[in-house]
Structure 1
Amino acid sequence: MGALFRSCLSGILIFNLEAAFPASLEITPVSVELDASQNGQVLTLRNSGTQALYAQVRIYAWNQAAGDEQLTPTRDLVASPPIAPIPPGGAQIVRLMRAGQASSPREMSYRLFIDELPAENTTATSSVQFRFRYSVPVFLYPAGERGAPDTHWSLETRDGKWLLNVSNSGALHARISDVTLTGAGVRVPVHTGLLGYALAGRERAWRVAAPPPSWRGGDARLDATANINGKLVTTPVAFEP
C-alpha cells in the first residue's frame, strides 16, 4: 500500500503514519508492537487543529497474497473507545487490547485505521466532504525469539507492467524503505522513504518504472540496496525480463 492514495468513492485520504504529512490529528505511537506477555498498549490521539473532531478506530487482520495487501475485519484486538471526541488542542487516550490471552506461535500482523471525522455540529459546505484516514501497523509477536526477516528480491514483467517483488521467508516482517537498484554501472532510485512491508512468510510486489536498456541483455547483475528494519542491506535481485 502506498503512503498516500485517493479513494474517490468514499472521499477519504489515507495516510501511513510512518510518513510525514501535515494534518490536525496526531497519533502516538506510529506503529504498535506487542510481545507475548503484553495484553495491550495505549495510543494517544491529539488534535492540533482549531476545530473539534471525532476519531473512529477500526482494526483489520493484515495479510498479503498474490503480491498485494489483504485486510479482513477482526476481533482479535479491541480498541476502547472505538469513537472518541477530541477538542481543539486536546488529547484522547485509546487502549488497544488483545481479545484473548493465548499468543500465536507466529508473528501476527494487523492494520489499525483511524478515521478523522468532523464534529457533529460541523456544517457541510459541499456535497463531498473529504476526511483523513490514518493507517497504523500492529504486530503481535510469539513467545521466545522474534527471529529475523529473510528477503528475496526479483524484478519482472507481468501483464506489461514492471514489478519489484520481495518475498520474506523469515519469521519477522520486513519494513522496507529507501530502495535503490544497481546494475551494469547504472544506479536507479526506486523509492525514497517508506516503500512498504513484506510480512513474515509472505510476498509483496510494487509497480516500478521500466529498467534501463543496459539491464535487459540478460547478463547484468542486479543488486538492491534498502533499509530493512533500520539496517542498510544490499542483496541480489533476480531479473526476469
Structure 2
Amino acid sequence: MTSFSQIIKAAGFCWFLLVTASASAGGFSVAPVRVFLKDVPQVVMTVGNASESEIYIQTELMAWTQHDEKDVYTTSREVLVSPPMFKIPAGGEQTVRVRLMGETAVSQERTFRLFLQEVPQVKADQAEVSTTLKVGVPIFIQPTKADSANYEWQAIRSAEGITLKVKNTTNSHIQITGLKLSDSGGKLIKEENVFAYVLADRSFHWDIKLEQPWRGDKFLLQATSDRGDIKTTVELSTPITVAP
C-alpha cells in the first residue's frame, strides 16, 4: 500500500498546470475562488472531490507581487492554512481554514495566492509519471480605506495595431476581463476578452491587433473589471498615419 509520505514525495516530480480562472481542476473543486480578508481574520473554504476515487491535496501559501508585468511569488507565513495537506474520499469535501496571522488594518492591499495541488497516487506497476493540476486562489488583505477607482491609460500605435497600457494608481487590485475600443462616432474598432490582475501601484499592457487600418488619434475605451465598468477617452501618443 502506498503511504501518504510517498505520495507527497512524488509530487516533486510532477508537471503542474496552474488554473486561475476556474473554480475546478481535474476531479476537485474549490469555493470560494477568491478570498477577501478585511473585517474578519479568517475565511472557510470548501474543497470538493467529484471523482470516483480518493484524492490527496497539498497546499502552499505564497506572497504575490508583480514586477515588470509578471507575477512574482515568494514563500510567506503571514497567512495560516489549515490543514496544509489532506485527503478527500470519493464524492467528499474538506473544509480549509485561511487565517491572517498579522494585522488586518493595512493602508495598501496585500496579496497572496493559495495553491492547492492534487498529488498523484504512486503505484508500484506505474511506468509513467502522472500529470496533475494546480489551482491558485487569490487572497486579498484589503486596505482599511480603499481609494476610488483611478487608472492611467496610455496608447501607442504599433505595427499591427495599438499597444494599450494601464497603470493602477490605487491602493487595491483591479481584475480586467474585457476591452472595447470605439471611435468618436461609436464605431467599433476592436473588442477583446482578456484576463489580467493589475495589483496596487502596478502596470500592465495589451498588444491589440487590428484587422482593419484605423487612422484616429483617440478612442473611447470601455473596460470590464471587478471594480465596475470603466469608460474613458484615450489619446494615442505620437499618432501616425497607417496606409491601408
Q: 2:27 aligns with which of 24, 27, 44?
A: 24
Extract structure 1 runs of 4+ deviating beyond 6 A.
157-162
Distance 1:136 1:156, change over 3 A: farther
* Alpha carbons 2:120, 2:130 under 8 Å: kept: no
Q: 1:222 aligns with which of 210, 219, 222?
A: 219
Distance 1:180 1:10 in 2: 39
**In terms of Rg, which structure is larger?**
2
Query: Which letter does structure 1 place at the counterpart of 2:204?
Result: R
Distance 1:48 1:236 in 2: 47
Distance 1:237 1:65, change over 3 A: farther
Distance 1:196 1:76 in 2: 25
User: Mapping of 1:101-140 within 5 angstroms?
Assistant: 101=103, 103-119=105-121, 124=126, 126=128, 128-140=129-141
Distance 2:161 2:213 in 1: 18
Distance 1:41 1:22 in 2: 21
Please report the RMSD computed on the Cα atoms of aligned residues, expressed in angstroms: 2.9
2:3 is aligned to none
Could you give the per-residue CA deviations for residues 104-163 of structure 1, whole angstroms, max 9, x where no partner exists? 32211111111111245596452x3210111111100233x2233322223447999974
Q: 1:11 aligns with which of 4, 11, 15?
A: 15
Gaps of 5+ in 2: 1-12, 240-244
User: Mapping of 1:83-98 within 5 angstroms?
Assistant: 83-98=85-100
Query: Which letter does structure 1 place at the counterpart of 2:18?
Result: I
Query: Which letter does structure 2 place at the counterpart of 1:176?
Result: I
Indicate the structure with greater strand content: 1
1:34 is aligned to 37
- Normalized against structure 2, the TM-score is what? 0.79
Query: Which letter does structure 2 place at the counterpart of 1:56?
Result: Q
Could you give the per-residue CA deviations for residues 193-222 of structure 1, whole angstroms, max 9, x where no partner exists? x6121111111234x34234533x4x4312
Distance 1:40 1:149, change over 3 A: same
Quote the offset at 1:176 in angstroms. 1.0
Does the alignment pair 1:204 with 2:179?
no
Could you give the per-residue CA deviations for residues 21-70 of structure 1, whole angstroms, max 9, x where no partner exists? 663111011100011x4222111100011111111111111112222221
* Alpha carbons 1:64, 1:204 under 8 Å: kept: no
Query: Which letter does structure 1 place at the counterpart of 2:141?
Result: L
- Normalized against structure 1, the TM-score is what? 0.80
* Alpha carbons 1:149, 1:172 under 8 Å: kept: no
Distance 1:38 1:101, change over 3 A: same
Distance 1:56 1:40 in 2: 20
1:3 is aligned to none
Distance 1:164 1:133, change over 3 A: farther
Query: Which letter does structure 2 place at the counterpart of 1:133?
Result: K
Number of aligned positions between the proteins:
224
Distance 1:115 1:123 in 2: 23
Distance 1:158 1:60 in 2: 36
* Alpha carbons 1:152, 1:237 under 8 Å: kept: no
